[in-house]
Amino acid sequence: MKAERPRSRSAAEADTLPAGLDRIDRAILRALQRDASVSNVALAAKVNLSAPACLRRVERLKAEGFIKGIVALLDPRPLNAGMLVIIGVVLDRSTPESFTDFEKAVQKVSGCLECHVVTGEFDYMMMLRTKDNDSFNRLHAEQLLYLPGVRQVRSFMVLKQVLSTTQLPI
């Protein structure tokens, strides 16, 4: 009888995953990324564990910070948030105070889903959702133009969403 060699992860995968995650932990995380509403009993069956052992692992993964939260992903269209806009922002100055002021203010922008400090042409990239072009124009005039320290705002209306996922490669 020939022994099977264990499947090894690629070098890229090995670099991205913490050493403390075994194959069952990864299977749990993959399953929860696909459907976090799965019951613990169903999850345990998927990863070949008893329900109590599975629950202990999920709780440990939460405690260790691998699972930040459990959410429902909503469809933006019926909620009047069908237009996705990506915004590049350039600040007047690159000082700690100007970054802090902007970051505090951007958290109050209606429909802002993400804001990231980036390298390159912009200081920040934002992603926001709004109902349509008219509602974005109002948001731009009433909120974006008044963000502190902003020199330039460039907006990119998304015409077609090709890929959007919350699933990390595990």
Q: What is the CATH number of the domain that holds 60?
A: 1.10.10.10
Residues of the chain with pLDDT under 70: 1-17
- What is the predicted pLDDT for the residue at 4? 45
Beta-strand runs (E) in the chain:
83-91, 112-117, 124-130, 150-157
Rounded distance between C-alpha atoms, residue 72 and residue 10, angstroms: 32
Confirm if 77 and 66 have CB atoms less than 8 A apart: no
Q: DSSP letters of 82-109?
A: -EEEEEEEEES---HHHHHHHHHHHTTS
Q: What global pTM score does this model have?
A: 0.81
- What is the predicted pLDDT for the residue at 16? 64
Going from the C-alpha of 113 to that of each of 37, 53, 73, 125, the distances in angstroms are: 22, 35, 13, 11
Residues 92 and 116 in one domain: yes
Residues 97 and 151 in one domain: yes
The range of the structural domain enclosing residue 110 comes to 77-157
Q: Does 52 map to a domain?
A: yes
Q: Does 93 map to a domain?
A: yes
- What is the predicted pLDDT for the residue at 2? 45
Q: Does 170 map to a domain?
A: no
Say how many domains are in the chain. 2
Residues 6+ apart with CB under 8 A from 123: 89, 90, 91, 94, 99, 102, 117
- What is the predicted pLDDT for the residue at 19? 72
Rounded distance between C-alpha atoms, residue 114 and residue 125, angstroms: 8
Residues 6+ apart with CB under 8 A from 150: 89, 90, 91, 92, 102, 144
Residues 152 and 101 in one domain: yes
- What is the predicted pLDDT for the residue at 17? 67
